[in-house]
Amino acid sequence: MGKQLLINDLDKDGIATLAGYKTHGGYTALEKALKMKPEEVVEEVKKSGLRGRGGAGFPTGMKWSFIAKPPGVPRYLVCNADESEPGTFKDRYLMQRKPHILVEGMIISSFALGANTSYIYIRGEMMFQYHILEKAIQEAYDAGLLGKNILGSGYDLDLYVHCGAGAYICGEETGLIESLEGKRGNPRIKPPFPAIKGAWGCPTVVNNVETLAAVVPIINMTGDEYAKIGIGKSTGTKLISASGHINKPGVYEIELGVPVEEFIYSDKYCGGIRNGKKLKAVVAGGSSVPILPTELILKTAKGEPRLMSYESLSDGGFVTGTMMGSGGFIAMDEDTSIVKNLWNFTRFYHHESCGQCSPCREGTGWMEKILHKFIEGHAETKDIDLLWDIQGKIEGKTICPLGEAAAWPVAAAIRHFRPEFEEYVKKGRSMIDVKHYYRINNLQPA
């Protein structure tokens, strides 16, 4: 299955507890890091080539080196455990089963950034995992891994977990900071970036759960060794959340560079499409990335096999490619209505728009309404063009990328599946009647 660094030992006894985690090599990276200088830790992460696992794929070491260091001003590290991008469930999976890898990663990363107080912002729906983290943090305090003078190094860190209360937009890093401050999760206009002015006006770094967890193996094995895993600039391993019409949905840790075809059809991963059906389309990186039809997800426009890597997934730009995103891999079989699925996603973005920018607030609502017209059977051909026009007027005109995240799926669905929209217009209904539950379970609707 290639190399695994994060979830390789989940079957080990007591891995969710401090004792079990330590028995299997836990907290050795912390001991090592505390003997280094903070800049050396940042250097290792730079060498590793680690890229943010939250969606944007920004190089982590570089992000850390941007943090402002005005004297006498506290700095903060905030872990983004808001995981709400549809199709993504890897962070929840990791935190529930191995909370100490996140705690260890956060201590090392806070040390590297010179933060003495750090927070894990977990979405409120994950209340069960919130309490798992509380317990893990308490265990770490009791063992001298948090608090004053950690392991005799002279470094102090307080780590707290903070819960949200249901809002996708709080996953956007400045929305998250607003929410941490006890406000509505309205994203901020940038600049200033959080690295200059973040939580409570102080320099702040926000990183995804998986990113911070990956710091642990990087310190253990060195950045250079980590960079040898994977392919090209896509170094290391990545957790992929696989869902939809596949035989084996779940979280898989892949070495970056696995061919998409192998990922979908091999029994090591998704195990092929359910009920012997054919694959129709894939949303490869969470609901915000462009949908691709089977031909383009398996092979690039140049006819080369497409790989699970940042570069290969985005090969062809948005015309024939997509994005790695958060690694939420959603597969749809031949009986899926692309138009109805798009309506579902668009409803999501309309529901989750914070409402600050008109193009996003109004545009998502219009798109949802127009798509609903298709489903109800009253759409006209000009509605396809209207959808295209609206999505184009959102992109690049909003405070945060949620607007784009809502526009891209619409653009991609029209680009690759226009005949399906036309079919709806002509017949007033879908080529496919959607009764997923009955179909999947081979039942007759009652």
Element containing residue 438 per DSSP (H, E)? helix 436-440
Q: Find out whether 157 and 367 touch, Cβ atoms under 8 Å.
A: no
User: Residues with Cβ < 8 Å from 287, sequence gap 6 or more?
Assistant: 85, 86, 87, 328, 330, 345, 348, 405, 409
Segments of 203-245 assigned E as strands: 204-208, 230-231, 234-235, 237-244
Query: How many other CB atoms are there within 10 angstroms of residue 428's CB atom?
Result: 12
Verify binding: residue 167, another protein, rule CB under 8 A: yes
Verify binding: residue 151, ligand FMN, rule CB under 6 A: no
Write each residue from 391 to 430 as x if it is in contact with ligand SF4 (CB under 6 A), else as -, in one continuous string: -------xxx-xx---------------------------
Verify binding: residue 124, another protein, rule CB under 8 A: yes
Which residues from 179-238 bind another protein, rule CB under 8 A?
A: 179-185, 200
Verify binding: residue 285, ligand FMN, rule CB under 6 A: no
Which residues from 361-420 bind another protein, rule CB under 8 A?
A: none
Among 206, 332, 360, 371, binds ligand FMN (CB under 6 A): 206
The one of ligand SF4, ligand FMN, another protein, none whose footprint includes residue 392, by CB under 5 to 8 A per kind, is: none
Verify binding: residue 84, ligand FMN, rule CB under 6 A: yes
Q: Between 168 and 421, whose beta carbon lies closer to another protein?
A: 168
Task: Provide the minimum distance between the beta carbon of 151 and ligand SF4 in the complex, in angstroms, as a whole number.
Answer: 42
Distance, in Å, from the CA atom of 264 to the CA atom of 341, rounded to the nearest integer, reads 20
What is the size of the binding site for another protein (CB under 8 A)?
A: 68
Q: Which residue type, as a one-letter code, is found at position 50?
A: L
Candidate ranges 152-160, 202-210, 218-226, 330-338; the one touching ligand FMN (CB under 6 A) = 202-210
Distance, in Å, from the CA atom of 399 to the CA atom of 401, rounded to the nearest integer, reads 7
Q: Between 102 and 405, whose beta carbon lies closer to ligand FMN?
A: 405
Tokens, residue 445? 């609707």
Verify binding: residue 169, ligand SF4, rule CB under 6 A: yes
- CA distances from residue 39 to 45, 199, 219 in whole angstroms, order as listed: 10, 23, 13
The one of ligand FMN, ligand SF4, another protein, none whose footprint includes residue 353, by CB under 5 to 8 A per kind, is: ligand SF4
Q: How far is CA 92 from the centre of its chain?
A: 11
Element containing residue 78 per DSSP (H, E)? strand 76-81
The one of another protein, ligand FMN, ligand SF4, none whose footprint includes residue 162, by CB under 5 to 8 A per kind, is: another protein
User: Residues with Cβ < 8 Å from 214, sequence gap 6 or more?
Assistant: 5, 6, 48, 50, 53, 105, 236, 237
Verify binding: residue 356, ligand SF4, rule CB under 6 A: yes
Q: Between 187 and 259, whose beta carbon lies closer to ligand SF4?
A: 187
Tokens, residue 215? 């710091």
The one of ligand FMN, another protein, ligand SF4, none whose footprint includes residue 399, by CB under 5 to 8 A per kind, is: ligand SF4
Among 3, 47, 268, 361, binds ligand SF4 (CB under 6 A): 361
Phi, psi of 248 (to 5 degrees): -130, 75
Residues within the interface to ligand FMN (CB under 6 A): 52-56, 58, 80, 82-85, 168-169, 171-173, 206-208, 211, 400-402, 405
